[in-house]
Structure 1
Amino acid sequence: MGVRSRWSKPGGTRRGPVGIAAAALVLALTAGCGAGPNSVDAASGSYKDAVSRTNKELTDVYRQIKGLDPAARKKKLIELAGREGGDITWYTAAADDDTTPLIKEFKKETGLTVKVYRASSATVLAKSLEEKKAGRVRGDILNYSGLDPTIGAHQGIYAPLHTIYADRMVKGTVHTNWIADQLYPFVVAWNTDKVKPSQVPSTLKDVLTRFGDGQLAFESTDSNWLFGVVQELKREGMTEKAAIDLVADAARKGVPVTGHTLISELLSSGQFSAAAMTYHYRSARQHQDGAPVAWEPQPQPVITTVSGTAISATTQRPAAALLFLEFQLTGEQKYWETAGRTTTNTDYSGGISQTKYHLDLIDDETLYKNLSKWDKLYADMMQSSGRPPRE
């Protein structure tokens, strides 16, 4: 079935909770306005000058590789990156277990070293926006997830992106100046010791109505999931109010849990019967490892968010940055495939089957415009149960 994209327009979207993304944006913009020793008002022109220099240098890189086939393009980029000198700095929310093999393989292929700054997506975004206020984002490649790539696009921290791999990507994952390198399908999962086959939900409405008090867990900050579910229920004929009320009723009886790793662990240990949203690769791995966790048959469509990557608007190593970004669209995709992650390059088929399952990409452009509304709605829902979030 593949991915159904509902982006309202190209240009901008993160893996983590939207509420934290919004907080990170406010924090970064507020902190950047302070008078710290390294603070430089972007209006002074320092950031604009850095962007102008990068654009000029990147344009020259694009000129030198224009028309080359993939092998020749890669060879030329390695040559140009070598002339730039220095290491590549990668800002990412990817886990250490993922970044270590990826940068090792990249160095093997290119001879170039990648230094990693790794934290939650919201933290990485906040760091990037603070650095923008100080005159230059120091990361060469910026990798966020969920809504954060959209925020980055709107905050003007990405360089123009032209890649020969764009036509190989899943529909809806290529944007004006960033591209999704991984899909994160939200799947409902259940504990097989607690949920009989006859109780397994077959629709999104089933997920929200089939479980009693204390039986269904919700990741406590996933307001992007709420937005995606409400949009789908509206397409099925419900009014927005009715859809929100349906989720609110389920949340009132539910168990809030902070963190996707924790919600999967608690589900496996039988702390509740089902989880309304888990990352597919976690639940699939638990099932494969013999834990009492299942996620199939999965209600469709599958609400899906992304991990997005871009070249920094102020990188001083444009050839190296482009080379690493295109590695993320090829060599990294091979790694995601073997790791059970859902790939965005259609030459690979990792993770959830995009022919069997209908993945519905969250319309993050629309979400971005109404972020405070959906954050507040979801926060109120999570508080309505009277249960403090499991952390």
Structure 2
Amino acid sequence: MRTRLMCATGAFSLLLVAGCGAGAADGGSIGTTAVVSSRAQRVYDRIQALPPAKQRAMAVQLADEEGSLEVYTSLTDDVADAVTKAFQKQFPHVRISMFRGNSETILQRILQESQARRLGADAVESDFLEMSSLDSQRALAQYTGPGQARVAASSRFPDWTADRFNVFLPAWNTDLVKTADVPRSWEALADPAYKGEITLEPTDSDWYENVTHYWLTHGKSQAQVDVLWKHIVANSHVTKGHTTIMALLGAGQTPLDSMNYTYITEQARLKGAPVAYRLPDGTNPLPAFPRPNGVGMLRGAAHPAAAWLFYDWMLDEGQKILVGLHLTPSTEVPGDTSLRGIHLAPFDVKGLTDTSTDWDKKYDEQLRGVTSAKGGG
């Protein structure tokens, strides 16, 4: 995580030094310190100069004239498809296209297109780390529309806003793990009773950092934390991919995931898999960490009105689409039960964006020598 952010930031910093000319919409690069797309900024300013109640109507009018919208997103295929269809149905004159990839791919693609002076994206929806990187490099334009009022202050960042959360909690196979044996704390994963029973995901360094930070800020010493991780890793196997480890869990090939995103567990449960992240009474006593994923509009957008419209829509109607797919929205949405019975702990955004610690490397070192999970290859 820290390594990929530093590499991306370095590449973008070189671009900032070398950048010249107009913004991407005018044939130049995005994110330069002195020069961005003046056309795009004029459109953003024109919309946001209006009273909040009139901004959406102006954005729709201008977006209809633009006719297109390109979004880069790390949403999974099913969610991206649902968002695309709902947005297209509501705004039929704006042809929306989504490029979907993992968050690292999204960031690298924006950087590469910027260097080639051919920015393809108008808006971006991705993981907090990549959004923070784009924000720090001044690649994103400021949104001050009505959607901001719907989101808690802790979910608003300088030039992007959280539109959903991936919530971290263990998941278990209800046929293989009795209710009495479900872990009631993160520390419980270190219990020798779970020897060989736990599946770890090798890219979950953000989970590793948050659990570590939680323990250190709740009375544990570094030595105690180190011992806990040593025992957790000793109890575990490793398999890559959260959907893969959920498939293994649902098939009964593994009994317990150390952590999975609650929406993945819930989607599997609703499809009939014997999996859960809540106890039978509907609660989970562990502190759950909600990782923010956010939406932003690019300063060099070729279709800035459409980018603004998408940003605003994702904080309004788009929230209902997310809830319908059992994701956790960043706003209050009627019918949302994703956090019912869950105890949230603050997600340590600061710790994960601090360049002094490479949490990818630290987590990799923890997992050194751990074998692949049963059935996981």
Name the TM tier (shorter chain). Answer: 0.7 to 0.9
Name the stretch that deviates more: 223-232 or 364-373: 364-373
2-structure distance, mates of 1:62, 1:271: 55
**Alpha-carbon distance in structure 2 between the residues aligned to 1:175 and 1:261:** 29
Q: In the alignment, residue 68 of structure 1 is paired with which amino acid?
A: P
Does structure 2 retain, via aligned residues, the 8 Å contact 1:201–1:299? no
Map of 1:91 onto structure 2: 72
Q: Which amino acid aligns with 2:185?
A: T
The counterpart of 2:99, out of the listed 117, 122, 147, is 117
The one-letter code matched in structure 2 to 1:91 is: Y
Alignment of 1:370-389 (within 5 A): 370=355, 372-387=357-372
Could you say what the CA RMSD is over the residues aligned between the two structures, in angstroms? 2.7
Q: Which sections of structure 1, spanning at least 5 residues, go unmatched?
A: 1-17, 34-39
- Corresponding residue number in structure 2 for 1:26: 7
Mind listing any 5+ residue stretches in structure 2 that lack a counterpart? none
Q: TM-score, normalised by structure 1?
A: 0.84
Question: Per-residue CA shift, 1:138-165, capped at 9, x if unaligned?
Answer: 2000121142222222233211221212
Q: Is the 8 A contact 1:161 1:178 kept in 2?
A: yes
* Structure-2 residue corresponding to 1:103: 84
Q: Distance in 1 between matches of 2:87 and 2:118?
A: 25
Separation in 1 of the partners of 2:38 and 2:142? 7
Q: For 1:62, what is the secondary structure of its paired residue?
A: helix
Corresponding residue number in structure 1 for 2:44: 61
Determine the structure 1 residue equivalent to 2:351: 366
Q: Supply the distance in 2 between the matched residues of 1:304 and 1:371 (Cα, whole angstroms).
A: 23
- Cα gap change, 1:210 to 1:332, in 2 (>3 Å): farther
CA distance in 1 between counterparts of 2:320 and 2:165 reads 14
Q: CA deviation at 1:101?
A: 2.8
- Given that 1:189 and 1:293 are in contact with CA atoms closer than 8 Å, whether structure 2 keeps it comes out as yes
CA contact (8 A) 1:203 1:299 kept: yes
Please state whether the residue corresponding to 2:252 is helix, strand or coil. Answer: coil
Q: Is the 8 A contact 2:44 2:308 kept in 1?
A: no
Which residue pairs with 2:21 in the alignment? 46
In the superposition, relative to structure 1, how do residues 309 and 47 fare at CA in structure 2: closer, same or farther (>3 Å)?
farther
Match of 2:271 among 289, 309, 316: 289
Task: Give the aligned partner of residue 332 of structure 2.
Answer: 346
**Is residue 172 from structure 1 mapped to residue 147 from structure 2 by the alignment?**
no
Which letter does structure 1 place at the counterpart of 2:20?
A: G
1:196 equivalent to 2:178? Answer: yes
Q: How big is the shift at 1:349?
A: 5.1
Tell me which residue corresponds to 1:185.
167
Residues in 1 aligned to 2:150 and 2:139: alpha-carbon distance in whole angstroms: 25
**Distance change in 2, residues 1:362/1:108 (3 Å):** same
Once the 2 structures are TM-superposed, how far is the Cα of residue 30 of structure 1 from its aligned partner? 5.7
Instruction: State how far apart, in whole Å, the 2-side matches of 1:207 and 1:388 are.
Output: 16
Matches for 1:217-296 after TM superposition, within 5 Å: 217-296=199-278
Secondary structure in structure 2 of the residue aligned to 1:217: strand
Q: Residues 251, 215 of structure 1: CA spacing in aligned structure 2 closer, same or farther, 3 A cutoff?
A: same
Moved more, 205-214 or 60-69: 60-69
Shift, 1:254, TM fit: 0.6
Q: Which amino acid aligns with 2:79?
A: D
Find the counterpart in structure 1 of residue 108 from structure 2: 126
Q: CA deviation at 1:196?
A: 1.4
Q: 1:327 to 1:243 in 2, by over 3 A?
A: same
1:207-234, Cα deviation, whole Å (9 max, x unpaired): 3326432101111111000000011112
SS of the residue corresponding to residue 184 of structure 1 reads strand
Deviations 1:238-270 (A, max 9, x none): 023422331232112211110100111111122
The alpha-carbon distance between structure 1 residues 171 and 210, as it changes in their structure 2 partners (threshold 3 A), is farther
> Match for 1:106: what amino acid?
F
Going from structure 1 to structure 2, the CA distance change for 1:241 and 1:153 (only over 3 Å counts) comes to farther
| Mapped partners of 1:260, 1:370: distance in 2 | 26
Q: Is the 8 A contact 1:25 1:125 kept in 2?
A: no
Query: Taking every aligned residue pair, what percent have the same amino acid on both sides?
Result: 23
Q: Which structure is higher in RCO with an 8 Å CA cutoff and minimum separation 6?
A: 1
Partners of 1:101 and 1:196 in 2: how far apart?
A: 36
**Residue 253 of structure 1 contacts residue 385 of structure 1 at CA under 8 Å; is this kept in 2?**
no
Q: Does structure 2 retain, via aligned residues, the 8 Å contact 1:90–1:115? A: yes
In 1, the alpha carbon distance for the partners of 2:118 and 2:357 equals 28
- Which segment is superposed worse, 42-51 or 120-129? 42-51
- Write out per-residue CA displacement over residues 148-207 of structure 1, whole angstroms, 9 at most, x where no aligned residue: 222222233211221212121144211110011111001101112221111111112123
1:357 equivalenced with 2:342 (yes/no): yes
Of residues 331, 354, 358, the one that matches 2:317 is 331
The DSSP-based 3-state class of the residue aligned with 2:64 is helix
3-state SS of paired residue (1:151): helix
CA distance in 2, matches of 1:257, 1:122: 20
Q: The residue matched to 1:190 in structure 2 has which SS?
A: strand
For 1:328-370, what per-residue CA distance to the aligned partner results, in whole angstroms no more than 9, with x for missing partners?
A: 111211111111110111244535226x322234222321214
| Partner AA of 2:307 in structure 1 | A
**C-alpha separation in 2, matches of 1:24 and 1:237:** 30
The amino acid of 1:61's aligned partner reads Y
Q: How much does 1:128 deviate?
A: 1.1
**One of 55, 59, 65 as aligned partner of 1:77:** 59
Distance in 2 (alpha carbons) for counterparts of 1:31 and 1:41: 6
For the structure 1 residues 56 and 386, does the alpha-carbon distance in structure 2 shift closer, same or farther, using more than 3 Å as the test?
same
- Secondary structure, aligned partner of 2:258: strand
